[in-house]
Amino acid sequence: MDVFEAMSTCRAIRYLKSDPVDAALVEQVITAATWAPSPGNSQGRDFIVVTDATKKAKIGDAIDKAMRQRVASMERPDRTHRLMLDGTGHLVSTLKDCPVLIFICGKKVYPYEAPRESFVWSSIYPAAQNLIVAARSLGLGTVFTTFQGVAEPVIRETLSIPDDVLIGCMIPMGWSDAKFGQLKRVPYDKVVHHDGWQGDLRTYPPTYE
């Protein structure tokens, strides 16, 4: 698949089939993630691939318990919010059935002489996006999530994550049970300033043409 097609259609997929994903495909998308840039090419990131049913159940149950009510009570002012939050509700209640949960973690290692936490996230996020686009190109659904924070002690214990390793995100991955489709984003002429800041070109929350 053309990279522009993969990037422009890799919707956050919160409906995943429980069918297994071949280990070779998991290796392929994580290899793509390792190609991502990082500050000074420090590559301070590691990937924890969770396929063990007991471990997924522990993590999924802990996140579901912490999130279910919270997500159910969040306001859904428009269709976009409704779809996103309904999808999140579905995802948290089915996390343990997702075939693969990928945690991208990192250590404070850069700059080597005076490491800063911000560089941990700078190393993790480009890798996550490479992984997401690679997965899309193979027909696999993913969603970038950060709600693992609500169950961090359980996750750390279940996966034996040392205290000096930070968890950047959790990416559930599997065969999509929803449609991939064109992303809705603020268009080029509302986000690009030529030769200097030209004033606010748009308002928040974003609107689409």
Ligand X SMILES: Cc1cc2nc3c(=O)[nH]c(=O)nc-3n(C[C@H](O)[C@H](O)[C@H](O)COP(=O)(O)O)c2cc1C
42: contact with ligand X by CB under 6 A: no
By CB under 6 A, how many residues form the interface with ligand X?
13
In the bound complex, what is the minimum distance in angstroms from residue 160's beta carbon to ligand X? 23
Instruction: Work out how close the CB of 172 gets to ligand X at its nearest, in angstroms, rounded to a whole number.
Output: 9
How many residues does the structure list for the chain? Answer: 209
End-to-end CA distance of the chain: 26
Strand pairing report for 140-142 and 100-107: unpaired
Verify binding: residue 84, ligand X, rule CB under 6 A: yes
Distance in angstroms (rounded) separating the CA atoms of residues 63 and 143: 15
Closer of 23 and 124 to ligand X (Cβ):
124
Smallest distance, ligand X to C-beta of residue 8, A: 10
- In the sheet that 165-175 helps form, which strands lie side by side, from edge to edge? 46-50, 100-107, 165-175, 140-142
- The piece of 17-25, 56-64, 100-108, 140-148 that touches ligand X (CB under 6 A) is 140-148
- Min CB(3)–ligand X separation in Å: 16
Is position 146 an interface residue for ligand X (rule: CB under 6 A)? yes
Q: Is there binding between residue 7 and ligand X (CB under 6 A)? A: no
**Contact between 183 and ligand X per CB under 6 A:** yes
Q: Is residue 143 near ligand X by the rule CB under 6 A? A: yes
Among 38, 88, 137, 142, binds ligand X (CB under 6 A): 88
Residue 158 interacts with ligand X (CB under 6 A)? Answer: no
Q: Is 74 in the site for ligand X (CB under 6 A)?
A: no
CB-based contact 92:70 (threshold 8 Å) = no
Q: Are 107 and 1 in contact (CB under 8 A)?
A: no
Question: Could you give the C-alpha distances from 137 to 62, 143, 155, in angstroms and in order?
Answer: 31, 14, 29
98 with 16: CB under 8 angstroms? yes
Q: Which helix (H) or strand (E) holds 145?
A: none
The pattern of x and - marking residues 10 through 29 that bind ligand X according to CB under 6 A reads -xx-x---------------
Q: Does 136 bind ligand X (CB under 6 A)?
A: no
Paired tokens of 34: 């390792």
Q: Which two tokens stand for residue 94?
A: 């089915």
**Burial of 45 by CB count in 10 Å (0-12 exposed, 13-18 middle, 19+ buried)?**
buried
Nearer to ligand X, 73 or 198 (CB): 73
In the complex, which residues of this chain contact ligand X (CB under 6 A)? 11-12, 14, 84, 88, 91, 143-147, 183-184
